[in-house]
Structure 1
Amino acid sequence: MSALTLHLLRGLAGLAWWLLLPRAQVHSRPPREQLGTMDITTGLTSCFLCSLLPAGWVLSHLESYKKQE
C-alpha cells in the first residue's frame, strides 16, 4: 500500500471510536405540564435581555468605539 492509503486508513480508524459511543435514547411525548403565560413571558424577556440588549448597546455606542484615544 502507498503511504497515502496508510495515512487515510489511520485517520478513519481514529474516527471509529466516535461511532461506537452509546447514544441517548430520546423519545418525544407531550409535556407533563403546559407552560403558562408567565413562564413564556419570563423566557422571552430573558432571551431578549441576554442577546439583543448587549448588541443594541454596542450598536448605539459604535461611534464612541471608533474614536481613537
Structure 2
Amino acid sequence: MSGVLRGILGARSLLRGPAITQRAGLVTKPARDPVGPTETAVGLTVFAVAILGPSGWVLANLEYYKKRE
C-alpha cells in the first residue's frame, strides 16, 4: 500500500515542477527586547483564562446542562 502512495505522490510532484526548498529563519541571538515580569504575568493570565474559563463555565452550569432535553 505504501508503494502505491509513493507512486501517486511521485507523479504529483512531477506535474508541479521542481521542488522549492524552504529554509527556516533560525536566529541564534538573544531577543532584542527582554520580556519583563509584567508582560509575562499578563500573558500567563490570558492563557489561563482562555483555557480554564470555558471549562469553568460548563462546570458552574452543569445542572442546567443536565436538565436540558
Q: TM-score, normalised to structure 2's length?
A: 0.63
**Residues paired across the two proteins, number:** 64
The letter of the residue matching 2:49 is L
Please state how far the C-alpha of 1:54 moved relative to its aligned partner. Answer: 1.3
Where 2:25 maps in the other structure, the secondary structure is coil
How well do the aligned residues superpose, as a CA RMSD in angstroms?
2.9
| TM-score (norm. length: structure 1) | 0.63
Give me the identity figure in percent.
Answer: 33
The structure, 1 or 2, with the larger RCO (C-alpha pairs under 8 Å, 6+ apart) is: 2
Moved over 3 A (4+): 5-8, 11-17
How far apart, in 2, do the equivalents of 1:27 and 1:13 lie? 36
> What residue is the counterpart of 2:57 in the other structure?
57
Unmatched runs of 5 consecutive residues or more in structure 2: none
Structure 1 alignment gaps of length 5 or more:
none
